[in-house]
A = this chain, B = another copy of it.
Amino acid sequence: MIQKANSVNKALEEAVLLKEPLKIHESMRYSLLAGGKRVRPMLCIAACELVGGHESTAMPAACAVEMIHTMSLMHDDLPCMDNDDLRRGKPTNHKIFGEDVAVLAGDALLAFSFEHIATSTKEVSSDRLIRVVGELAKCIGSEGLVAGQVVDICSEGQSGVGLEHLEFIHVHKTAALLEGSVVLGAILGGANDEDVEKLRKFARCIGLLFQVVDDILDVTKSSEELGKTAGKDLVADKTTYPKLIGIEKSREFADKLNREAQEQLLGFDQEKAAPLIALANYIAYRDN
């Protein structure tokens, strides 16, 4: 997994070069190359390889999903949103470059993710590429990431937020892009429609799993261990799984989601499925 993360880091470094205008590219690179866990790119590549594709075929899309993830963090951290000072163990983008540049650098990463897929993907038919563009766009916008974020914002401090509402937020805010990462990889690797849908279901489960584990970590770990501000859900009076059903039941729910996810992979060559299984287990049992 570390080797894959290194390939992704190298590809990201080469995708967004430091050029004029310097300030915007510095800002984009500051957050993009800040050493995240690269879970989304690795999911994209693993899904592509599972269905018989090559790492190099998935790499531009793998970089694209990381650009989207980074841009969503940059905008979420803004003073008008979560107003966060710490991210990936470093000061947040707007703390270094100013709010105006942080907004623009996020916009630029969002646009560039599509450019990178459209112009740098090799050996994939344009028919599949256009499907990839449609899938990626959908998981970002008002039916994906943004939907989750806006409902999350509107729910802060509200009492009476139930499990269904919480799941809507998580499915959109977190699971949508994880789903996109896997589905993009599958389409690029040449998967048939049936396999794309199996992998979509796998991704939905680990997407929700990812956020349930995030909620648990937020109440059980320190800021130093997480590399970002801990306990902020409590401070913001956010509804979380531990708050609604307790830590023990949250852990049980996480285990159930991991099992459901891995059941989707049973029909595939188990040796080839090993990286996706490892990623699911990593998401379930990570400690930051």
Contact = CB atoms under 8 A, between A and B. Distances in A.
A125 interface: yes
A286 B100 CA distance: 31
B130 A115 contact: no
A108 B81 CA distance: 16
Contact of A141 (B108, B137, B151): B108
Contacts of A100: 78, 80-81, 153
A102 B129 CA distance: 30
A75 B107 contact: yes
A75 B107 CA distance: 9
Nearest to A153: B100
A278 to B, nearest CB: 30
Interface residues of A, number: 53
B115 A137 contact: yes
Q: Which among A107, A131, A134 has the greatest number of chain B C-beta atoms within 10 A? A: A107
B21 A111 contact: no
A21 B150 contact: yes
Nearest to A78: B103
Copies per assembly? 2
B103 A142 contact: no
Contacts of A130: 118, 126, 129-130, 133
Interface in A129-165: 129-131, 133-134, 136-138, 140-142, 144-147, 149-151, 153-154
Contacts of A113: 137
A231 B77 CA distance: 33
A114 B142 contact: no
A110 interface: yes
Contact of A119 (B134, B149, B153, B154): B134
B127 A24 contact: no
A27 to B, nearest CB: 8
A106 interface: yes
Contacts of A219: none
A260 to B, nearest CB: 26
Interface of A: 21, 23-25, 28, 71, 75, 78, 80-81, 98-101, 103-115, 117-119, 125-127, 129-131, 133-134, 136-138, 140-142, 144-147, 149-151, 153-154
